[in-house]
Amino acid sequence: MTETPHENRTVLVTGGAGFIGSNLVERLMQRSGTRVRVFDNLSRPGVSHNVRWLRSLDSAMELEVIDGDIRDAAALASAAHDVTEIYHLAAQVAVTTSVDHPRSDFEVNALGTFNVLEAARRSGRRPFLLFTSTNKVYGGLHSVPVTVEGAHYRATDKTFRGVSEQEMLDFHSPYGCSKGAADQYVRDYARIFHLPTVVFRMSCIAGPRQFGNEDQGWVAHFLYSILEGRPITIYGNGYQVRDVLHVSDLVDAMQAARLHQKQTCGEIYNLGGGPDRSVSVREMLTKMEDITGRRANLRSSEIRPGDQPLYVSNTDKMTRDTGWVPSTSLHSVIESLREFWHANREILRTQRLPVLAEDLVSEEVA
């Protein structure tokens, strides 16, 4: 299924000034007849730069930016009153922050998502709604026993093809609870109120417009730190494995989910790079050192509670329902981040925190 050349769309993207949001907005603005409305409180480092970049694009006449907070139900209702689709990306994304400020985490992730759903329902237009959830809803994944092989963990079950949507939920940390509650609400609004909703439970996403702050992606954080000579803290032995998905492949998946609504509405999908794009912390550092010709400045610390030794997405369901498959290699992910760093190094140096103590191996971005 392909998009029609002159489809009239009015799209609301919450968190549209962030890393994933700005990449999605750029893609949406390339489509004739598509009006894009960004709803973002512009509080995170780098987002103002993303807004300036979006406004500089040739298609920026179709862009509207609203400085708003998803905790403000009235503001959301106003922003969503005439839209044909909603991509809900705005979130509090760090496990560490959720532990320090659990009430704020709940209000943003759980209540904020409820506000988005109610805005969609009360609009009366039944907009397509896609919500970005997290692999954290699966907890520590004790159901996937691992063993050490070289510099990475591997599943002891050699038939393991990644974590599927059938995995038992196990909310661990305030962040896991708030995002898990939100993704269950999104799914249930399809069943009870017949809204065309889709949930993506995402693994590690990386690519351009990622600023590598302490709560925004370990891959970018590692690479930028190597390029800038900053220290990187490794928690545990560094054998933890994650699958990495380039942001352009994620945006492809978002559009595939919308175009195949008959199959995807009311469904939950695990989204990541899958087994072919899985890598351990140590292996990723080696790849980055080879590409950049620079050595990483490493520090060690104790492993953090609840960290998943191995998380790899099984994306078979998404492929079956939409035909989507990722196409960007791990090498190309690193190269795209390096190119973005070289083109924006001064901005990145001022936007990133002076001391980066988190490697965020177990956290994705939203």
The whole-number pLDDT of residue 212 equals: 77
Query: pLDDT by residue (tens digit) across 66-94?
Result: 999 999 999 999 999 999 999 999 999 88
Segment 278-300 shows an average pLDDT of 96
pLDDT for 157: 94
Helix, coil or strand: residue 87:
strand
Kindly provide the b/e burial profile for residues 348-357, where b requires at least 16 CB atoms within 10 angstroms of the residue's own CB. Answer: beebbeeebe
What pLDDT sits at residue 126?
97
- pLDDT band at residue 97 using 50, 70 and 90 as cut-offs: confident
Position 348 scores a pLDDT of 83
Does 286 score more than 50 pLDDT?
Answer: yes
> How would residue 350 be classed by pLDDT, with cut points 50, 70 and 90?
confident
Distances (CA, A) of 287 to 1, 223, 226, 278, 283: 37, 10, 12, 13, 6
Q: Residue 366: its pLDDT value, please? A: 36
What's the average model confidence in pLDDT over 170-188?
Answer: 94
Active-site choice (87, 138, 153, 175): 175
Q: What is the rounded CA–CA span in Å between residue 25 and residue 89? A: 12
Q: Is residue 13 within 8 Å of residue 91, measured between CB atoms?
A: no
The reported pLDDT for the residue numbered 365 is: 40
Type of residue at 218: W
Walk me through the domains of the chain, giving residue ranges and CATH numbers: 9-351 (3.40.50.720)
Q: Above 80 in pLDDT, residue 295? A: yes
Q: What is the mean pLDDT of residues 47-58?
A: 92
The answer to whether residue 270 scores a pLDDT higher than 90 is yes
In this model, does residue 239 exceed pLDDT 70?
Answer: yes
The residue type found at 357 is: A
Identity of the amino acid at 56: S
Encode pLDDT of 123-158 as tens digits: 999 999 999 999 989 988 888 999 999 999 999 999
In sequence order, the 6+-apart residues with CB closer than 8 A to the CB of 12 are 37, 39, 79, 80, 83, 85, 86, 87, 127
pLDDT for res 306 = 65
Place of tokens 């780098």: 46
149 DSSP β-pair partners: 152
**Higher-scoring residue by pLDDT: 365, 332:** 332
Whether 175 is catalytic is yes
pLDDT at 89: 98
Among residues 163, 149, 160, 205, which one has the least CA distance to residue 326? 205
Mean pLDDT of the region 278-298: 96
pLDDT at 173: 86
20, pLDDT greater than 60 = yes
Mean pLDDT calculated for residue range 175-197: 97
Q: What is the mean pLDDT of residues 160-167?
A: 95
Closest listed residue to residue 269, CA positions, set 313, 310, 309: 313
Residues in CB range of 221: below 8 A, 6 or more apart: 212, 213, 214, 232, 356, 358, 359, 360
Check residue 363 and give its pLDDT.
36
Residue in this structure with the two tokens 């709940």, named with its chain if needed = 106
